[in-house]
Amino acid sequence: MAEELPTPEELISKGYKPPKTAWMDTPVNIRKGMYCYASTPKTVETLGLPNPRNWNPLDDDWQLPDNWKEIVFEGLRERLDKFRSFKLFMDICVRCGACADKCHFFIGTGDPKNMPVLRAELIRSVYRNDFTKAGKILGRLAGARPMTIGVLKEWWYYLFQCSECRRCSVFCPYGIDTAEITIVGREILNLLGLNIDWISAPVANCYRTGNHLGIQPHAYTDMIDFFCEDIEEVTGVKMEPSLNRKGAEILFITPSGDVFADPGTYTAMGYIILFHYLQELGLDITWSTYASEGGNFGFFTSHDTMKRLNAKMFAEAKRLGVKWILGGECGHMWRVIQQYMNTMNGPADFLETPVSPITGTCFENAKSTKMVHIAEFTADLIYHNKLNLDPSRNDNKIVTYHDSCNPARGMGLLDEPRYVINSVCNHFYEMPSNTIREQTFCCGAGSGLNASEDMELRMMGGLPRANAVKYVHEMHGVNMLACVCAIDRAVFPALMEYWVPEVDVTGLHELVANALILPGEKKRTTDLRGEPLPGVEEEDAEE
């Protein structure tokens, strides 16, 4: 610490200046607050992944196997052969820099190694050195460098400062997707046992009990029961959701964060209310305490791990004998479903192309996955006038919408959530155009970076998003940030508290359920959070 203090001369000089070295010569400085704790041996063992041990990223010795370099090269070689996209991305970057300033982590941290082009270059430099002729001959002149322990640490540090959000790929003229480079890079790190606990623990839990928190079926049921009691208190209507019911037409799968963590819990209550409302119109749906996790942190570990965790979706659908699957509000869950599920664990020929039992709409887009996103499903209901809505019940909420990276860039879900919000709320304002839709800024904590120990990283990575929220808060008085992702709902409360404390966070279906008029409901005086509905306090005062 002491040697980092500026001297008196430096203090009166113009200002602090960082050392000027080329990026290859700037050694990695692993800083607290910027990384997540290392994976524990138990979780690594549970999954049968290599090199389980106690290790600390701040230690000099990461306790790697003696032949770690060989493992890295073999891992790299295997993946260059297997994933054509990865090989292309290694070869075709012209270092034009179009992606350089598009990453929220670069914008927030100001660290050049968070420029997507440099992040990829961390791996590409080693690839050049050992896999290309030019690199072998010209070495550093061709942008090549040998693999060392310092380079490996740099990989680890910066690959876990990429949320795999794909924003950079939108701006690359060649369509290079740095997220995919990160995915492969993390997969190689896992060959050496270099995962983070915030990923490996949920993955191990999920593998054992079906969800990230390791909550067992009875607790899941208790939680749903509790939601029903709360809903009855607010609406006067008794809910009777079904769980693990064989022969239901539709299976509902949502991230466990909706069931176990605030404020996702209010979104879960929203689903229950919507399903109850639709029951009379012909909805035949069941929840599952086994497929109790839509999220898939395996995706942030390796392709194989992702596949293992994903398998339960189709397996549970088969066990229950449903026709198709409805999916809740989640981010990366949809990237896995949309991009990988069919080839990993499909084709699910035992399922049918989803058709809404209420409107008759056939979801052709879900023909291969047999899974429909609930925002699409609800938008279709509203479009066909099937919901009796009173948007004024959300009048105290001045709403903006955050496009979660994966649904937006990974599956093109852009207009459906907006259509729903505009139908259930009277006050909706968009954030600036270069921060939403395909260009949306990440929450700063995707891809398993939503631990608490890396709060500094999260606050910086989330700055561009929060900055846009702050703008609509100041311009239009926005006080509610809506989203369709469980990680968003988990991390935005802290992000808002740091940057825009006046803004709260909600899921889409919490807003839907507040507006939805249930047959036989009592006069509602509060929203799902128990806060007075707009106008109610004044009415009380008049009485």
Q: Quick one: which of 181, 273, 505, 515 contacts other proteins (CB under 8 A)?
A: 505
Pull the structure tokens for residue 177: 């997707």
Q: Which residue in the block uniquely carries the two structure tokens 């890295």?
A: 72
Q: What is the dihedral of CA 292, 296, 302, 307, to 10 degrees?
A: 50
- Considering only residues 235 through 264, tell me which ones interact with other proteins, judged by CB under 8 A: 260-263
Cβ 333 vs Cβ 410: under 8 Å: no
CA distances from 467 to 98, 408, 463 (A): 22, 20, 6
Residue number with CB closer to other proteins (232 or 531): 531
Q: Does residue 118 belong to the site contacting ligand SF4 (CB under 6 A)?
A: no
Q: Does residue 97 belong to the site contacting ligand SF4 (CB under 6 A)?
A: yes
CA distances from 501 to 107, 267, 505, 510 (A): 21, 21, 11, 20
Least distance in angstroms from the C-beta of 178 to ligand SF4: 4
Q: Does residue 435 belong to the site contacting other proteins (CB under 8 A)?
A: yes
Least distance in angstroms from the C-beta of 97 to ligand SF4: 5
Among other proteins, ligand SF4, none, residue 206 binds (CB under 5-8 Å by kind): none
Annotate each residue in 111-130 with x if it binds other proteins (CB under 8 A) or - if it does not, as one string: xx--x---------------
Q: Quick one: which of 165, 431, 457, 480 contacts ligand SF4 (CB under 6 A)?
A: 165
CA distances from 23 to 114, 151, 153, 373, 493 (A): 11, 11, 14, 43, 35
Q: Quick one: which of 498, 521, 524, 536 contacts other proteins (CB under 8 A)?
A: 498
Least distance in angstroms from the C-beta of 483 to ligand SF4: 17
Pull the structure tokens for residue 252: 């509902």
Among other proteins, ligand SF4, none, residue 210 binds (CB under 5-8 Å by kind): none
Pull the structure tokens for residue 206: 């999920």
Q: Does residue 98 belong to the site contacting ligand SF4 (CB under 6 A)?
A: yes
Stretch that binds ligand SF4, among 167-175, 186-194, 302-310, 509-517 (CB under 6 A): 167-175
Q: Quick one: which of 8, 9, 12, 246 contacts other proteins (CB under 8 A)?
A: 12
Q: What is the largest CA-CA distance in the chain?
A: 87
CB-count exposure of residue 396 (10 Å: 0-12, 13-18, 19+): middle
Query: Could you tell me the strand order of the sheet in which 285-287 lies?
Result: 285-287, 250-253, 324-327, 371-373
Residue number with CB closer to other proteins (32 or 82): 32
In angstroms, the CA 280 to CA 297 distance is 36
Residue number with CB closer to other proteins (97 or 347): 97
HEC secondary structure over 13-57:
CCCCCCCCCCHHHCCCCCCCCCCCCECCHHHHHHCCCCCCCCCCC
- Picking from 269, 227, 275, 226, the residue whose alpha carbon sits closest to that of residue 251 is 275
Pull the structure tokens for residue 354: 């989803």
487 Cβ neighbours under 8 A, 6+ residues apart: 257, 295, 330, 331, 332, 404, 443, 445, 446, 450
Residue number with CB closer to ligand SF4 (412 or 530): 412
- Considering only residues 171 through 210, tell me which ones interact with ligand SF4, judged by CB under 6 A: 172, 174, 176, 178-179, 182
Q: Quick one: which of 69, 140, 386, 529 contacts other proteins (CB under 8 A)?
A: 529
Q: Does residue 119 belong to the site contacting ligand SF4 (CB under 6 A)?
A: yes
Cβ 511 vs Cβ 482: under 8 Å: yes
Q: Does residue 9 belong to the site contacting other proteins (CB under 8 A)?
A: no
Stretch that binds ligand SF4, among 98-106, 234-242, 273-281, 336-344 (CB under 6 A): 98-106
In angstroms, the CA 526 to CA 399 distance is 18
Cβ 360 vs Cβ 347: under 8 Å: no
Q: Quick one: which of 59, 70, 91, 101 contacts other proteins (CB under 8 A)?
A: 101
- Considering only residues 143 through 162, tell me which ones interact with ligand SF4, judged by CB under 6 A: 162
Q: Quick one: which of 27, 31, 150, 175 contacts other proteins (CB under 8 A)?
A: 31
Residue number with CB closer to ligand SF4 (169 or 292): 169
φ and ψ of 326, to 5 deg: -105, 135
Q: Does residue 464 belong to the site contacting other proteins (CB under 8 A)?
A: yes
- Picking from 218, 219, 240, 244, the residue whose alpha carbon sits closest to that of residue 231 is 240
Residue number with CB closer to ligand SF4 (167 or 489): 167
Q: Does residue 167 belong to the site contacting ligand SF4 (CB under 6 A)?
A: yes
The DSSP letter of residue 248 is -
Stretch that binds other proteins, among 71-79, 190-198, 387-395, 526-534 (CB under 8 A): 526-534
Q: Quick one: which of 75, 108, 270, 507 contacts other proteins (CB under 8 A)?
A: 108
Contact residues for other proteins (CB under 8 A)?
1, 4-6, 11-18, 20, 29, 31, 33, 100-101, 106-112, 115, 213, 219, 222-223, 226, 260-263, 265, 432, 434-435, 452-453, 455-456, 459-460, 463-464, 467-468, 471, 490, 493-494, 497-499, 501, 504-505, 529-531
Contact residues for ligand SF4 (CB under 6 A)?
93-99, 102-103, 105, 116-117, 119, 162-168, 172, 174, 176, 178-179, 182
